[in-house]
Amino acid sequence: MEFEAVIGLEIHIELNCATKMFCDCPNRPGDEPNLNTCPTCLWLPGAMPRLSEQALEKAALLCLGLGAELQPRSAFDQKVYYYPDLPKGYQLSQAHLPLSRGGGLDIIDENGAAKRMRIHHIHMEEDVAKLVHEMEGRVPVSLVDFNRAGTPLVEIVTEPDLRTPYEAMEFLKALRTQVRSVGSSECNLENGTMRADANISIRPRGTTQMSTKVEVKNMNSIRHVGDAIAYEISRQTAAVQAGEAVLLHTRLWDPDKKVTLPMRAKFEGPCVPDPCVPVLELSEEWIETMRARLPEMPSVKAGRFSRRYGLTDDEALSLIADPEVARYFEVVAEEGVAPRTVMHWLITQLVPAVKERRQELAGSRVTPARFAALLRMLAKDEINASAAREVLVSMFDSNEAPEAIVGVRGFEQISDLDALDALIDKVIGEQPGAVADFRGGEEKALGFLVGRVMRASGGKANPKVIRGLLADRLGEAKP
Amino acid sequence: MDPIFFHRNPETATGHGHAAVQGHATGHGHAPDDGRLRGLKVAVQPGVAVKGWPTDAGSHALAGYVSLEDATVVQRLRGAGAYLCGSIHAAEFGFGLAGGRTGEAVRQAFADIELVLDSIGESRVAAARAGVCGLKPSYGLVSRFGLIGLIPSMECCAVLSRSLDDIRETLRIITGQDGLDFSLPDEEAPDFSSMAIDPGKITIGVIDEAQDALPATEGEEFRASLEALRRRGFTLQEMSLPDFSLFSLVHRIVGSVEASSAAGRYDSVRYGPRAPGAKNWNEMYLLSRAAAFGPFVKSYLIQGAFFQFERYGAFEDACRIRARLVREMRRLTSQVDFLAFPGIDGGAAGVPSGGMAGVPSGGASGDTAAGVPAKGGPGSPGEAPSAPRYGAQASLRGVYAEFASTLFANVTGQPVLYLPSSPGGGRAGIQLTGPRLADGRLLALGESLLETDRKGD
């Protein structure tokens, strides 16, 4: 029997708010442990939650960006469980009345077909504290860092529309692009600003039955999500084929062994309404104000990039994946540099260089104006590509205009024909064999000779010009 | 041990300037000591946070806990120049009064007002026992920031005093929006200015079913009180609320579920005593929480957990019935000016109420605070000196029976004024209520009744 998987995702996204969700503590979980705490996020007796307006706005923008419908009435509930990472014995979450319902994203599946992946609902909740397990001598101790307690999160719960690991990975990529473009989160699985859990079950292909699902957690890259789902599908398939029952439980992905392993269940009860956070009543007017704040959505932007800048769909998609890159691209392209040159140099040279230096594109010394100046010199053949790469490196270390760097470092191409003729004469004299080969019809020999002239020029000659001059000279001299 | 105060303010009353500076330093937006309450002596419960004071809310779960900040009510009272004289011995989380001395500071004139957390009717029962006035304000009128209780959707900071005027002035100061409690509805505070009451123009409703469960003597007293009101010119109107008996059930189910969840924070991880000997954190939870609560509160929490985890449907039903009771009560209060409810037979101060079924003799009164250890309290051996403070005996059934006439207002959130019996005995203690935000009008009605009490019928 052939099986297919039914996969739903539960994705937690950390909102990039200045403060925590219910108090004014800075939302910086990575600081020195327990630095960002107050009586409210430690939930000392008598503390009252004060919902952050920014958290609500960022969550609402995220919902709208995913095409979800903000609910006129939503409310927080108490998700009760006892664990040392939860300072008040319950987590504030929207279990009964979520912030939004519906919405979804389009992805392209492995066969190239467009597929709509629906979202069931999106709700807000607070993050819990972080547990650190250490040894004090021979005694194991568990320490609690409350910096993360109260960090604003949204949880996106999809419909079980996904069928393959590939689709799950494509969905997460599309989600990441969309959320980054509304500006609500960094949305990174690697650093925990996005966390994805997968619910997986299998059924005979072609049926509509809903089988017992298994939840898999602890994947911290999109690749791991794909690997964990693939492993779980084959594990469940093998179990069913061996006549074993699939049990409802939670498993953890082990990235080293590349397997999922069962984890001990947390005791959880039904959620009760919280009497302290007021019910959220969103007016039509407020929702429209939020909608007006939505930036251009990626699919719209990709279409505009293809039309305006003459890019292919793939090229446009590669630019809009990161809104910062897209913004940078537009500024440089509008400075009159050929869009495809901008795209190529931005994606293959500048972005990796910025990343390597652990900088942000927006704050880098290589401003769009300087980058445009560099690319203009390249376009006018004032420098060649290898010189341009070296100038780019220097631009990170100084604020000088690229033209000045080129002048000081002597990167200008040798365009003086007399100087080039002298170099060509010298190389022809030194390489009679290659000259003979070329004259004998071996085109490859010309490339070798161009390389020799380039080397003699110290890399400063324009290879296109040399090729032309060499071909002319050798052709003239042909008997 | 002090018979009334669990903690006395180390600063004397003349230290006002200092208190005002403290109030200012907390920066909650009130001017330092504007003098409106200067000279007013305030006693609080240990579940009201006062910065630097031991704040154990009467529970072993918070033994030794010292507040880091003032409750909003405290900060505002200080800002108006009131003097905080101390916190009194109170029941565990103030709930049900068992083992506390609530009302005694006011009765014995150690304080002009007492702040009392009213979750099931504590302020009105304590006022009855002490023979003083008590006002439970409308829910949502007074900030809950810094109040440590068990039932967030029902508890409210109430005020006891011998003088309605002091209650009025106190409410003027402590009510209103608070940047630290977003749960307060965005609405205008009631008018607390005194207003004339013309009995000839006032109709007071009486709910038949509210008298059903009263013992015979209390029923007679209540009818006599109503007759006294009629003689004074008020129009009385009989009304019916067939589901009145459901108030108790709804309070018990919703209240215990909320309490079970609210008390989840007493886990000994970050604060509160941690029981020794646990091998892992699950054991730490079990041992510490087992030692944290007295038997009465523990039985309430277990009941709440039962409804939440085993009978969630019953909890949902209770929430639905609560919404219906709120609507019904709103309908009734819209048809009359006020409603009268039986007062509580508090008996003489310090004497346990006759209605406390299941309460061992003396357990409901101040014996514990007076130095006699509570019988059968859990008192973990390591906590010997403080053991008598915790774990007074009471039964859920007994407390719910005793508070049967008061808990309706905690379910609906409406304001209630308790007036003690008239000095001549013509009128027994009585509860007066109205619609939400009728707090100011209730005080005016109370003043008018006390005035005629003084003149005699």
Structure tokens at B293: 């609560």
Instruction: Tell me which residue in A44, A51, A88 faces B264 most closely, judged by beta carbons.
Output: A88
Instruction: Sort B127 into a burial class: Cβ within 10 Å, 0-12 / 13-18 / 19+.
Output: buried
Distance CA A251, CA A217 (A): 6
B69/A278 CB distance under 8 A: no
% of chain B beyond a pLDDT of 90: 73
The residues, any chain, with a CB within 8 Å of residue A48's CB and separated by 6 or more, are: A40, A276, B144, B145, B180, B181, B182, B183
Q: Which residues of B touch A78 (CB under 8 A)?
A: 261
ipTM score? 0.86
Any idea which residue has 């009268």 for tokens?
B340
Asked if B152 has any chain A CB less than 8 Å from its own CB, the reply is yes
Distance CA A329, CA A325 (A): 6
B265/A144 CB distance under 8 A: no
Any idea which residue has 């004397």 for tokens?
B12
Which chain A residues touch B if contact means CB-CB below 8 Å?
Answer: 39, 42-51, 78, 80, 82, 84, 87-90, 142, 144, 146, 269-270, 272-273, 275-278
Are A93 and A77 in contact, with CB atoms under 8 Å apart? yes
CATH number of B1-457: 3.90.1300.10
Interface test with A, best of B267, B280, B293 (most A CBs within 10 A): B267
User: Is the pLDDT at B173 greater than 80, yes or no?
Assistant: yes
DSSP conformation class of A352: H
Domains of chain A: 3-285 (no CATH), 296-386+394-400 (no CATH), 417-476 (1.10.10.410)
Per-residue model confidence (pLDDT) at position A292: 95
A275/B183 CB distance under 8 A: yes
Residue range B420-446: mean pLDDT, rounded: 92
Are A258 and A231 in contact, with CB atoms under 8 Å apart? yes
Chain A: give the shortest CA distance to residue B26, in Å. Answer: 14
The residues, any chain, with a CB within 8 Å of residue A191's CB and separated by 6 or more, are: none
Are B374 and B363 in contact, with CB atoms under 8 Å apart? yes
Q: Which residues of B touch A48 (CB under 8 A)?
A: 144-145, 180-183
DSSP conformation class of B142: B
Side-chain-side CA neighbours of residue A325 (13 Å): 26
B265/A88 CB distance under 8 A: yes
Chain A: give the shortest CA distance to residue B280, in Å. Answer: 10
Are A19 and A214 in contact, with CB atoms under 8 Å apart? no
The residues pairing with B237 across neighbouring beta strands, listed in sequence order, are B205
B265/A46 CB distance under 8 A: no
Distance CA B347, CA B353 (A): 6
Instruction: Tell me which residue in A46, A84, A276 faces B269 most closely, judged by beta carbons.
Output: A84
Per-residue model confidence (pLDDT) at position A351: 93
The residues, any chain, with a CB within 8 Å of residue B423's CB and separated by 6 or more, are: B453, B454
Q: Which residues of B touch A51 (CB under 8 A)?
A: 182
User: Is the pLDDT at B436 greater than 80, yes or no?
Assistant: yes
Domain boundaries, chain B: 1-457
Strands B203-207 and B338-342: parallel
Distance CA B161, CA B449 (A): 16
Per-residue model confidence (pLDDT) at position A405: 85
Structure tokens at A164: 């393959």
Q: Which letter, b or e, does each residue of B131-161 get, where b requires 16 or more Cβ atoms within 10 Å of its Cβ?
A: bbbbbbbbbbbbbbbbbbbbbbbbbbbbbbb
Per-residue model confidence (pLDDT) at position B388: 52
B257/A50 CB distance under 8 A: no
The residues, any chain, with a CB within 8 Å of residue A264's CB and separated by 6 or more, are: none
Phi, psi of B260, rounded to the nearest 5 degrees:
-60, -40
A-to-B residue pairs, Cβ atoms closer than 8 angstroms: 86
Look at A50-59, A191-200, B10-19, B241-250 and tell me which has the smallest mean pLDDT: B10-19
Distance CA A60, CA A54 (A): 10
Residue range B191-200: mean pLDDT, rounded: 90
Distance CA A133, CA A137 (A): 13
| Residue ranges in chain A modelled with pLDDT below 50 | 478-479
CB neighbourhood size of A147 (10 A)? 24
Per-residue model confidence (pLDDT) at position B33: 66
Q: Which residues of A touch B322 (CB under 8 A)?
A: none
Give chain B's mean pLDDT: 86
A87/B69 CB distance under 8 A: no
Look at A13-17, B116-120, B207-211, B372-376 and tell me which has the smallest mean pLDDT: B372-376
Reported confidence tier of residue B49, pLDDT bands at 50, 70, 90: very high
Structure tokens at B12: 């004397």
DSSP conformation class of B193: S
Per-residue model confidence (pLDDT) at position B30: 42
Query: What residue in B sits closest to A38 (Cα-Cα)?
Result: B68
DSSP H or E segment with residue A349: none
Closest CA to B261 of B204, B304, B213: B304
Per-residue model confidence (pLDDT) at position B100: 87
B401 in helix, strand or coil?
Answer: helix
Distance CA A364, CA A393 (A): 12
Per-residue model confidence (pLDDT) at position B348: 39
Show the beta-strand stretches assigned E in B235-384.
Answer: 235-239, 338-342
B180/A48 CB distance under 8 A: yes
User: What percent helix, strand, coil does chain A show, rounded to 5?
Assistant: 40, 20, 40
User: Is the pLDDT at B371 greater than 60, yes or no?
Assistant: no
Per-residue model confidence (pLDDT) at position A266: 65
Per-residue model confidence (pLDDT) at position B423: 83
Asked if B62 has any chain A CB less than 8 Å from its own CB, the reply is yes
Reported confidence tier of residue B19, pLDDT bands at 50, 70, 90: very low
Look at A392-396, B300-304, B421-425 and tell me which has the smallest mean pLDDT: B421-425
Query: What residue in B sits closest to A39 (Cα-Cα)?
Result: B68
Reported confidence tier of residue B13, pLDDT bands at 50, 70, 90: low
Chain B: give the shortest CA distance to residue A53, in Å. Answer: 12
Instruction: Sort B223 into a burial class: Cβ within 10 Å, 0-12 / 13-18 / 19+.
Output: middle
Instruction: Tell me which residue in B181, B261, B315 faces A48 most closely, judged by beta carbons.
Output: B181
The residues pairing with A115 across neighbouring beta strands, listed in sequence order, are A107
Per-residue model confidence (pLDDT) at position B358: 34
CA distances from A139 to A142, A144, B279, B282 (A): 10, 16, 11, 17
Express each pLDDT in B330-360 by its tens digit. 999 999 999 999 988 654 333 333 333 333 3
Per-residue model confidence (pLDDT) at position A9: 97
Distance CA B167, CA B161 (A): 6
Distance CA A251, CA A240 (A): 17
